[in-house]
Amino acid sequence: MNCREARRELGASALGALDQDTARALEEHLAACPGCRAEAAAYQEATTAFPLWLPLRRAPAALRERVLSAVRRPLPHAPPRTDEGQRWRWALAAAAAVVLAAVLSWAIILQREVNDLRGEQRRLVTAQATASALLQTQAEAQAHLEAQRAVLLLVLGEDVSYLEMRGPDRGAEAKAVYVWSRNQRLGVLLADGLSAPPPDMTYEFWFETGEGEVSGGTFAPSDDGAASLVVHPREGMGRPRSFVVTLEPAKGSPEAEGPVVLRGDLP
Amino acid sequence: MAERNVSTRRASLDPGTSAAGDPQGSSGLDDQRLMARICQGDVPAFEALFDRYCDLVYSISLYIVRDAALAEEVVQDVFLRLWRRPDQYDAAHGRFLPWLLSVARNRAIDERRRQGRRLRHEEAAGSHRQLALPTDDAGDPVLAALLSEDRATVRRALQQLPEEQRRTIELAYFGGFTQREIAQALRQPLGTVKTRIRLGMHKLRAALSDGR
């Protein structure tokens, strides 16, 4: 993108009205062009006056009391409310706290395993077959650690949500929980009880939306049946109605065609 | 007496301070000093900031989500987030109030999307509701008085725009819609929408920076 092209997009950029590709190209240009950056700042400054466009409305007095009560109260800060949505959010927050405690313990155990594995790897570096197996295990452990860190980020955020996922058959061993934050555009799948996929197959996580399935990534369980996957929901994706795990070809699949292993339906 | 940003005649959002007093003197502090106190857990400082701007945040939220209960949720969420994470505002990146209103706008747009509201053709074409030019308010008379000159500047700037440019900019800013979404809803060519935004924003920028 050159300066002429960039400056044609600055007004829309200040409004947040660019599509992703154009926004990205503009961002790259602005990073390298101080002149266009200054122009961009001027457009951004103009938008700060836009709220003055609106009629000024007085906020209800009860709102002030609710907010200040929450601030004065020790955590959790949210004021008592009686609607079902708030009770559901508190149940999720409590469940997320339980998940966090378990995850922290798991993270400590895994960190030790990773450290142990690193040492073992150095000692066996000349034994190629054994080193390959250990690298695979370390990669799995690192993936689990990444998942734990993501969960920590989520539960420290403000809008964490949590949904249990079950197998289609009653009594199925496989189960999972999907923890996510819409604002952080981040989710983590923590699964257990998964059997090893057949050769050339893998597990794949999907968002089921009104427009179809959107993949969140593939993963494989460790020997004990546990698995984790850090998910970055695609921008512009429709609102999901369900989370699903299916069994797909090893390199993943553009659509969810395989059997459903885990499912969680949003209310 | 409220302090004003008098260094330029540009439309600004710096009413600065409220007129009410309090024993610990929070109400007399500017926004950045209040935020510094809020970072230390100063409740009166938070109260002062809340009282100063809750009506503005409520107004922009109500306009975007179009539901009083949802607007209250947005206000609560924005200010509680500010209380819990005051470090998210960085004074080096700009003034406090534009940042606060940007947070409120984004939160309200997210809430609107969560409610599944899509831009329908009728709404985009303006048959649902038109954005009126700012007139007398039902809100805080003190804040309204503080902002009166700035609002007059914005009013003059808006009056310079053709209706279709003003409407397109309103859809983008308050609706959170992309140019493509607006074009689809208005059943207009994408190039037409882009031109309206480009020309309209160019005029607004010039008018608001000159205070004309």
Q: Mean per-residue pLDDT for A18-40?
A: 91
The whole-number pLDDT of residue B18 equals: 38
**Mean pLDDT estimate for chain B:** 76
Check CB contact under 8 Å for B153 and A49. Answer: yes
Produce one character per residue of A143-165: b if its CB has 16 or more CB atoms within 10 Å, e if not: bbbebbebbeebbebeebbbbeb
Tens digit of pLDDT for each residue in B70-128?
A: 999 999 999 999 999 988 888 877 778 878 988 999 999 888 888 765 555 555 555 43
Q: Mean per-residue pLDDT for A140-169?
A: 73
CB A207 within 8 A of CB A183: no
**Rg over CA atoms, chain A:** 24
Q: Mean per-residue pLDDT for B132-155?
A: 59
Nearest CB to B75 within list A8, A16, A59: A59
What is the full DSSP assignment across chain B?
Answer: ------S--S--------S---TT-GGGS-HHHHHHHHHTT-HHHHHHHHHHHHHHHHHHHHHHH--HHHHHHHHHHHHHHHHH-GGG--GGGS-HHHHHHHHHHHHHHHHHHHTT----HHHHHTSS---PPP---SS-HHHHHHTHHHHHHHHHHHHTS-HHHHHHHHHHHHH---HHHHHHHHT--HHHHHHHHHHHHHHHHHHHHHT-
Residue A49 forms contact with B (CB below 8 Å): yes
- Write out chain A residues lying below 8 Å of B54, CB-based: 59, 63-64, 67
Q: Is it the case that residue A11 has pLDDT exceeding 90?
A: yes
Tens digit of pLDDT for each residue in A242-251?
A: 999 999 888 7
Measured CA to CA, the distance from residue A261 to residue A169 in angstroms comes to 9
**Mean pLDDT estimate for chain A:** 79
The whole-number pLDDT of residue B54 equals: 93
Q: What percent of chain B has pLDDT over 70?
A: 69
Q: How far is CA A41 from the centre of its chain?
A: 31
Positive/negative CA dihedral, A132, A135, A141, A147:
negative
Residue to test with chain A: of B81, B204, B210, B212, most A Cβ within 10 A:
B204
Structure-token pair, residue B67:
């539901």
Q: Is it the case that residue A43 has pLDDT exceeding 50?
A: yes
The whole-number pLDDT of residue B128 equals: 39
- Write out chain A residues lying below 8 Å of B116, CB-based: 239
Measured CA to CA, the distance from residue B177 to residue B184 in angstroms comes to 11
- In this prediction, residue B6 has a pLDDT band, given cuts at 50, 70 and 90, of very low
Check CB contact under 8 Å for A11 and B56. Answer: no
ipTM of the complex: 0.72
The whole-number pLDDT of residue A26 equals: 93
Measured CA to CA, the distance from residue B177 to residue A236 in angstroms comes to 11
Q: What is the DSSP letter of A148?
A: H
Compare A145 and A54 and report the one with higher pLDDT: A54
For A221, the 3-state DSSP assignment is: coil
Measured CA to CA, the distance from residue A24 to residue B173 in angstroms comes to 19
Positive/negative CA dihedral, B169, B174, B180, B183:
negative
- Write out chain A residues lying below 8 Å of B170, CB-based: 53
> Residue A201: which residues within 8 A CB-CB, separation 6 or more?
A247, A248, A249, A250, A258
Q: Is it the case that residue B49 has pLDDT exceeding 80?
A: yes
Distances (CA, A) of A103 to A139, A165, A180, B134: 18, 17, 15, 52
Check CB contact under 8 Å for A48 and B131. Answer: no
CB B166 within 8 A of CB B126: no
CB A55 within 8 A of CB B135: yes
CB A48 within 8 A of CB B13: yes
Tens digit of pLDDT for each residue in A81-112?
A: 445 555 555 666 666 666 666 666 666 666 66
